[in-house]
Amino acid sequence: MSTPSPRVAVVVGGTRGIGREIARHLVTEGHRVTIVGRTADTGTATAAEIGATFLRADVSELAQVRRLAGELTSRHDAIHHLVQAADVIKATRVDTTDGFEVGFATNYLSRFLLVDLLLDRLRAGDAHILHVAAAGAAGRLRLADVPPGPRTGAFRAHGVGQGANDVYGVELAARLAGTGVTVHVANPGAVETGIRDEVARTPLGRLLNPLFARLMTVRQPAEVARTLLDTARRHPDAVLIGMKGPVPLPRRARDEALRRTLWTRTAHLTTPHPQG
Ligand SMILES: NC(=O)c1ccc[n+]([C@@H]2O[C@H](COP(=O)([O-])OP(=O)(O)OC[C@H]3O[C@@H](n4cnc5c(N)ncnc54)[C@H](OP(=O)(O)O)[C@@H]3O)[C@@H](O)[C@H]2O)c1
């Protein structure tokens, strides 16, 4: 009898933090795992440590998402797990060469585009798509804020991306219903990772951080990774999940018109528009 080929997992943002622990967990389950990040040193070291393959890409740049998708498509006929956990929170606004705030581009636009470009492979693998974001936690989503305009600060622009993930995730799940692909958008709660380091170094961050640390339960990324994977498997139909189980859909994610319009707008934002 021939041995079945290993299931393929891709973890974008799998070089550090929550993504790294999800990747580690998938490796221990026997998946063939590729991790993606911007930094070659960190990526190579993590890949060697957990037994994964590293691909370098800065997914805040849409051209690099396209290149990454091309690379993954040429390597794999089917993808069984796609985890997207790449994100940054900047202390002050930084824009990508595409003209988007970098947090919004990383935590939202890149996810939409990568799923779109890998759809055939994800369908072929009856894939589980897991977006690690802030399910249910971001405030109201106004279409006028998508994409966040040039006067929107970095923190707010990052939050728009998180809120958009909920609305997009529910729409993606609806569009993929019956195909064998499942979709989750997760809220990991407060986790001890490096994502808030830059903000924590600002005067306001230095003031507020000790307060947050006292008010919130801060978990370790390994525990969070295990819990989120387990919750996703126990609740395949609950799109939004958190550390204690499914998260009720916020009003923005139940608004079908908003879901459709956000989809169309995001598809437009992620399509190349040649100059001239
Ligand atoms: N930690 C928390 O308390 C918390 C709370 C709520 C939600 N979340 C969400 O959980 C997710 C994971 O966050 P985390 O805490 O694990 O963050 P983290 O420890 O800072 O890890 C972020 C990962 O993303 C990668 N990355 C960042 N920008 C990238 C880019 N442009 N292209 C490719 N890779 C990129 C990083 O690697 P490189 O730097 O090498 O690129 C790293 O592997 C995020 O969506 C975050 O918003 C976290």
Task: Name all residues whose Cβ lies below 6 A of ligand 1.
Answer: 13, 15-19, 36-39, 42, 57-60, 85-88, 106-107, 132-134, 188, 190-191, 193-195
8-269 classified as CATH 2.60.40.10: no
Per-residue pLDDT of the chain (276 residues; tens, 9 = 90+): 566 778 999 999 999 999 999 999 999 999 999 999 999 999 999 999 999 999 999 999 999 999 999 999 999 999 999 999 999 999 999 999 999 999 999 999 999 999 999 999 999 999 999 999 999 997 789 999 999 999 999 999 999 999 999 999 999 999 999 999 999 999 999 999 999 888 888 888 888 888 877 888 899 999 999 999 999 999 999 999 999 999 999 999 999 999 999 999 999 999 988 764
Supply 208's token pair: 């507020």
- All structural domains of the chain with their residue ranges: 8-269
pTM attached to this predicted model: 0.97
Query: What distance in angstroms lies between residue 239's CA and the mean position of ligand 1's atoms?
Result: 21
